Amino acid sequence: MATIDRNSPIPIYHQLKTLIREQIASGLWRPGDRIPTEQELCQSYGISRAPVRQALDQLAREGVLVRRPGLGTFVNSTTPVQSASGIPIQVMSSDPYWSSVLEQVSRVWNSQHPDQQVTFQVNLVSHSRLYDLLSAAVGSGAAPDVAMVDCVWVAGLAQSGFLYPLEDLGSLWNHSEFGKDLYPAFVKANSFNGRLYGLPVKADISLLWYRKDWFAQEQLAPPQTWDDLLDVARHFLDPQVQARYGQPYPLAFPGGTAGGEATVYNLMPLIWSAGGEIFDPQVEQVVLNAPGVRRALQYLQDLVTLHRVSLPEVVTYKEDATPRLFASGKAAMAFGGSYESHLIRDASGWGNGEFARRVGCVAPPVAPGGRAVSTVGGTSYVILRQCQRPALVMEVLKQAISPRVVGDLYRSMLQNSPCPSFYAFLSAEAEPLLTRISGMIMSGHARPSIPEYVKVSRQLQAMFEAAISDTVPVDEVVRRTAEFIGAITERPCQPACA
């Protein structure tokens, strides 16, 4: 019997889905057969009930299985399992949870176009290596048809000539049509020289995760300010409180180059809240070397080296380390992003209901005299110039943003859409996390959508790491980073502000 690989980047529930499909395709379970119970599947594969239930729920929604109350779960005797044949669409992605969305998209497309069947073939890679691997694939002539990328990368990929402008593919979706139902930040992030190159499909926001159940037991309110965060963290450092929950340090976050873009995404709100910026768009100057930036970096450094509410090892955390630590009860709070909800649920084994009871989120804490601000970003589909059937791929991907096609799946995955119209389908009672995040998007702050962003991001990652590690004075770290960014972007640096 095939096994579940716990070290694989592919979620446990998705591995189980694949195994069940393979067993049906092989004839082990035939149409009308009852499959093992949830408890039997848990025992057979040595996994918890939450991923088993998630796999069965999705297969039932996809028509592969039928659940009969009081009798069990059966292989559907009327709907054949989707064939893997069809025109292949090669996808490069770093999101191990997105295969179910692509399966839904291809299933809907294939039902409507029986003479032009498609199948997605996904190459799953590490998020921290995605940009470099995609660039290398383009250079070697082996680019995929589609890549799922951080929207902040779109301008750089477009400037390099890697991408098709969407309006060149016969699509009616351009700034005047499709852009009407996009938050303005996503139109800007997916455009270059006034043309739309990225098809936004997922909206994310940075936030502070906290253990709602622990906070309730300790009669604590979630932190709203930097001082609140420090007070709450000190509470969880109390030996008696630590003994109750077994968490060694109150706060986790990615703090260096090992965390890649997650470091910038999750920590920039501290700089923005303190009044800092990277660029002044009005005069195209680098304005990083300013008091707000230095104040935010000093605060982060003090959390680790002075107050000791976070481990010094935060500078070594990879992009998935923080949500996994939070999910395993090793931290009471974590700087993170809404995109981590599925990883927290998968790592903890919590279903949606238990996740909602245990986990809360608020906007990143505010600097003294500052304002609450989150990083707003997301994931986009881009179609590579080496794609052999770009117009067909564009038509298929249209299904990927339709609430009619993927809305229910988005809600079950706790994923947000970059289209405001999606939120008309949400219920504050049924989807509290999605509803709360939708209210934060409009006040969010986007990272700069410039072609040089990838190189700028690497400098920012190194800046956070050097400041937190306390190897160089904060003033020197900021000055040096501003100069490097100025050289990279060929923009002048504003003189240091006192």
What residue spans define the domains of the chain? 12-75, 205-375+448-489
Candidate CATH numbers 3.40.190.10, 1.10.10.10, 3.40.630.30, 1.20.58.100; the one for domain 12-75 = 1.10.10.10
Is the model more confident about 109 or about 49?
109
Which residues lie below 8 Å from residue 319, measured CB to CB, with a gap of 6+?
A: 127, 128, 254, 259, 260, 261, 262
Least Cα distance to 10 among 416, 346, 381 occurs for 346
Q: What is the pLDDT of residue 148?
A: 96
pLDDT in tens, 253-300: 999 999 999 999 999 999 999 999 999 977 789 999 999 999 999 999
CB 118 within 8 A of CB 82: no
pLDDT in tens, 409-455: 888 888 888 888 887 778 778 888 888 888 888 788 999 989 999 99
- CB half-sphere exposure, 430, CA atoms < 13 A: 9
**Helical residues (DSSP H) of 359-431, grouped into ranges:** 390-397, 403-413
Q: What is the pLDDT of residue 175?
A: 46
The pTM of the whole model exceeds 0.85 = no
* Residue 283 main-chain phi, psi, to 5 deg: -120, 5
4-8, 288-292, 336-340: least confidently modelled range: 4-8
Least Cα distance to 102 among 86, 85, 122 occurs for 122
Least Cα distance to 476 among 307, 308, 293, 316 occurs for 293
Residue 25 has pLDDT above 90, yes or no: no
Task: Classify domain 205-375+448-489 by CATH number.
Answer: 3.40.190.10
Rounded CA gap, 216 and 165, in Å?
Answer: 50
Cβ neighbours of 284 (radius 10 Å): 12
Per the prediction, the chain carries an average pLDDT of: 88
Residue 369 has pLDDT above 50, yes or no: yes
457: amino acid identity, one letter: S
CB 112 within 8 A of CB 118: no
Torsion sign, CA atoms 249, 252, 258, 263? negative
Distances (CA, A) of 105 to 109, 291, 393, 436: 6, 48, 11, 27
The string of DSSP codes covering 444-465 is: -EEPP--TTHHHHHHHHHHHHH
As a whole number, mean pLDDT of residues 322-347 equals 93
pLDDT in tens, 171-184: 545 445 666 777 88
pLDDT in tens, 114-171: 999 999 988 888 887 898 999 999 988 889 999 999 999 999 999 999 999 988 886 5
Specify the long-range contacts of residues 425-433, CB closer than 8 Å, at least 24 apart: 432/356, 433/338, 433/341, 433/356, 433/361
